[in-house]
Amino acid sequence: MSVLFHLTMPDGPMAALEAVMQDVQTLQKQIVGSQINHFYPGNRPGSRLPRQLWGVAQLPRLRRTEKQLQLHHIFNPDLFPFPALRWLKKPVVYTAVTGLGHTSQAVVQKLAHQVHTLILPTLNDQQQLKAWGITNTAVIRPGINTRHFHYQPPPAEAPFTLMMASAPWTSAQFRSKGVDALLTVAQERQDLHLIFLWRGLLADEMRQRIAQANLGQRVILLNERVDVNDILRRVHASILLADDPALVKAFPHSLLESLVAGKPVLVSPTMALAEYVTANQCGVVVTAVSPPAIHHALNQLQNQYTIYQQNAQAVGVRDFGQQHFIDTTLALYKTVMAQ
């Protein structure tokens, strides 16, 4: 078995910290001879090249490379029919890491004709596509290496602390991912401390925001590789917000890591994980990317913290192990190659 993985994200110095890259590397370790290609044009976010042209310039190289490979697997936030996919000869498996979102029926149907299988994160997405007459789908939920994370209570004297580990790719995402709103809440809530895990991009801009908010004593910015489990030991919960489902994975790794480490989460309803959090009472859904909504969710979390924490500790390791993700994906590859 040999696979060419395609990533629609820049190949920057901190790319290995991205959850999608971690998923791909996990699969790559299982398949001798597999390779990674960055379908995205350039090494920094914000390419001016229209998405319709992504991969077109790579086609001569990809056509040569695929002679030694058995299939392609592309990971992209949403369901988008890249024209370059039509020119590939080997079967294409396509993962929409954020799910269906707002993608229209016509767009999904076009993509479904270009690829062998569409991988979705939830049964709800699959059922919607089935209603549209699209049946070449599979549901595979990501997982993490649970052995790297274990529960440790925060120090007894520690102030209430949140971790956010999904940094913006663009300046606009300071708003859309709730960073600005979270800093505002910290200004208004003297008992709140924040830890942001960054990935190289826009670090100076973030430092300026922290300084302008006069939060240097209560906000930590870690723009380096860290032991996430060690950071989780210092916090009470993790938070990730997004006003658009295309901004983050349906099941973000940072929140899965938090749950596996027994720390509850604050999450936007745009993510599929929100439904799981509600059903399992292992965190709180933040109804809007705004300071009032964050305040309300924090109050709920703190008032019932023991219940949310105990539930997170109970379900995290049980439900988000990595082996199921690996086994299910490899089984799909075998099915594709057998046809």
pLDDT by 10-residue block (mean), the chain, 339 residues: 90 64 92 90 80 94 92 95 95 95 95 97 95 97 91 92 92 96 97 93 95 97 93 97 91 95 97 95 98 98 98 94 93 93
Provide the pLDDT for residue 177. Answer: 96
What residue ranges in the chain does DSSP mark as E strands?
3-7, 35-38, 71-76, 92-96, 117-120, 137-139, 160-164, 192-197, 219-222, 237-240, 265-267, 283-285
At residue 81, the pLDDT reads 97
φ/ψ (deg, to 5) at 86: -65, -20
CA-nearest of 189, 193, 188 to 154 is 193
Integer Cα distance of 252 and 276 in angstroms = 12
> Which pLDDT belongs to residue 47?
78
pTM for the complete prediction?
0.86
Cα–Cα distance for residue pair 165/222, rounded to 1 Å:
10
The Cα–Cα gap between 156 and 228 comes to 20
Task: Give residue 256's pLDDT.
Answer: 96
Q: Is 269 helix (H, G, I), strand (E, B) or coil?
A: coil
What DSSP character marks residue 188?
A: H
3-state helix, strand, coil in the chain (%, to 5): 45, 15, 40
pLDDT at site 246: 85
| Tokens representing residue 295 in the block | 């305040």
Quick one: DSSP state of residue 221?
A: E
Among residues 37, 105, 110, the alpha carbon closest in space to that of 76 is found at 37
Burial of 157 (C-beta count, 10 Å sphere; 0-12/13-18/19+): exposed
Note the pLDDT of residue 203. 94
- The one-letter amino acid code at 169 reads W
In the prediction, which pLDDT does 208 show?
A: 97
Listed in sequence order, the residues at least 6 apart from 232 whose beta carbon sits closer than 8 Å to its beta carbon are: 149, 152, 163, 238, 257, 258, 261, 263
Report how far residue 210's alpha carbon sits from residue 206's, in angstroms, rounded to the nearest whole number: 6
Residue 16 has a pLDDT of 53
The count of C-alpha atoms lying within 13 angstroms of the C-alpha of 307, restricted to the half-sphere facing its C-beta, is 11
What pLDDT score was predicted for residue 48? Answer: 82
Q: CB–CB of 72/36 below 8 Å? A: no
List of E strands, 16-83: 35-38, 71-76
Q: How far is 37 from 308, CA to CA, in rounded Å?
A: 40
Q: Which residues, other chains included, contact 38 with Cβ-Cβ below 8 Å and sequence gap of 6+? A: 6, 7, 9, 10, 11
Give me 118's structure tokens: 């569409």
Q: Are 230 and 261 in contact (CB under 8 A)?
A: no
Question: Residue 15: its pLDDT value, please?
Answer: 55
With 0-12 / 13-18 / 19 or more C-beta atoms within 10 angstroms meaning exposed / middle / buried, residue 268 is: buried
Judging by beta carbons within 10 Å of its beta carbon (0-12, 13-18, 19+), is residue 190 exposed, middle or buried? exposed
Distance CA 132, CA 146 (A): 37
Paired tokens of 279:
């059903």
